[in-house]
Amino acid sequence: MTDEITFLREMLEIYSPSGREGEIAAYLVARMREMGFRAYMDGAGNAVGIMGDGERELMLLSHMDTVEGFIPVRMQDGRLYGRGAVDAKGPLAAFVLAAARVGPIPNWRIVVVGAVEEESSSRGARHLLGYFSPQAVIIGEPGGWEHITLGYKGRLRVLYRLAAPVRHSTAEGPSAAEQAIRFWNRLTEFAGELNRGERFRFHTLDPTLHKITTHNGGFEEEVVMDITLRVPLGVSITEVKDRIRSWAGDAAVGFGGEDVPYKAEKNTPLVRAFLQAIRSQGGTPTFKVKLGTSDMNTVGPIWRCPIIAYGPGDSRLDHTPEEHLDLEEFRKAIGVLERVIGRMTQ
């Protein structure tokens, strides 16, 4: 087993669900120092490694938190299984290893960050905004070693709660549960009207009802819904929130998990560096956009520099019990990143 595989395996063996990243952060800081980085844990708990001391910054930002659910780490048929193998400890490990291979470059700082809480609040990425001003950013997310991800849809979480006095089933008017269903139907009708004729899901507004619960306390009946909206470019989250408030009636609605949609420019030096690097490894580069969100949604609109997302792994395995990473793909991604770093810092 090579050192690079050992490094990734040890990362996977540290369970680090969102909000509990302290152990993996300490591990990464120690290992990055061994590899020649100036490494530290910042005020948010991010693991930060800096290679070189120039004035220009190239940021490689991935995340070290995972969703809940430990997967026993094992090797099988050239694959490494474990929670975070693709989302996103695999990409993060590739970032660290590639930057370490390149080493210090005159006039540049290569900044590698393992961020906290990407799976929940993006608190780690938000913390970085006040401390760095990079010339280019690579976000570590799985997309496959031949693929370049240019954009992500936005997100809005909607919490709906309606409480009403208990009433007899023969009483006139809708029950609390029926009012909640009418609200949900109005939301899906609005999405259907907005999406009419659009087949590409990156351009559609997609509501998902995660949970609906009802409770009768004897004197009051309550219904609660937890909804997520995936928001496309061109749709104002502010306007969507205003419409939702207008449909709520007597219900209370709250919002959270708000991320604006974001798509990066294609004609940039960073994209050209990736195209060349992937071809040099024998790959055929292609572009992707994704239906979820990432830290690109957080940092892209603020830093306003060339940015893409890249990383080994099949994103369809995100959050699943069979999460695993093909190790040959992992090695190829490291090679691509090494060449991109070299080209971007010439």
Same domain, 214 and 275: no
End position of a domain, from candidates 259, 285, 318: 259
Total domain count for the chain?
2
Interacting residues of 290 by C-beta distance below 8 A, sequence separation 6+: 141, 143, 149, 151, 152, 153, 202, 309, 315
Half-sphere exposure in the Cβ direction for 115 (13 Å, CA):
30
Measuring CA to CA, which residue among 62, 178, 70, 54 is closest to residue 112? 62
Same domain, 15 and 57: yes
- Inter-residue contact 291 to 201 (CB < 8 Å): yes
- Domain with residue 239: its CATH number is 3.30.70.360
- Domain with residue 278: its CATH number is 3.40.630.10
Asked if pLDDT for residue 340 goes beyond 90, the answer is yes
Measuring CA to CA, which residue among 35, 6, 41 is closest to residue 22? 41
* Residue 295 appears among annotated catalytic residues: no
End position of a domain, from candidates 229, 259, 289: 259
* Confidence grade of residue 2 (pLDDT, cut at 50, 70, 90): low
Same domain, 251 and 301: no
Coil, strand or helix: which one is 190? helix
> Looking at 57, 87, 117, 118, which residue is catalytic?
118
* Confidence grade of residue 219 (pLDDT, cut at 50, 70, 90): confident
Same domain, 50 and 16: yes
Same domain, 85 and 183: no
> Looking at 57, 65, 117, 141, which residue is catalytic?
65
Same domain, 98 and 230: no
Domain housing 250: 154-259
Q: What percent of the chain has pLDDT over 90?
A: 93
DSSP state of 320: S
Whole-number Å distance between alpha carbons of 39 and 50 = 6
Mean pLDDT, residues 12-17 taken together: 98
Radius of gyration of the chain (CA): 22
Same domain, 185 and 118: no
Q: Bridge partners of 204?
A: none
- Inter-residue contact 237 to 156 (CB < 8 Å): yes
Same domain, 130 and 206: no
Same domain, 315 and 283: yes
Same domain, 250 and 276: no
pLDDT tens track for 312-332: 999 999 999 999 999 999 999
pTM score: 0.94
What's residue 1's pLDDT?
A: 40
What's residue 175's pLDDT?
A: 87
What's residue 231's pLDDT?
A: 98
pLDDT tens track for 113-169: 999 999 999 999 999 999 999 999 999 999 999 999 999 999 999 999 999 887 656
DSSP secondary structure of 90-141: HHHHHHHHHHHHH---TTEEEEEEEES-TTTT-HHHHHHTTT---SEEEEE-
What's residue 166's pLDDT?
A: 72
* Residue 118 appears among annotated catalytic residues: yes
Same domain, 180 and 253: yes
pLDDT tens track for 94-107: 999 999 999 999 99
End position of a domain, from candidates 259, 290, 308: 259
Same domain, 249 and 216: yes
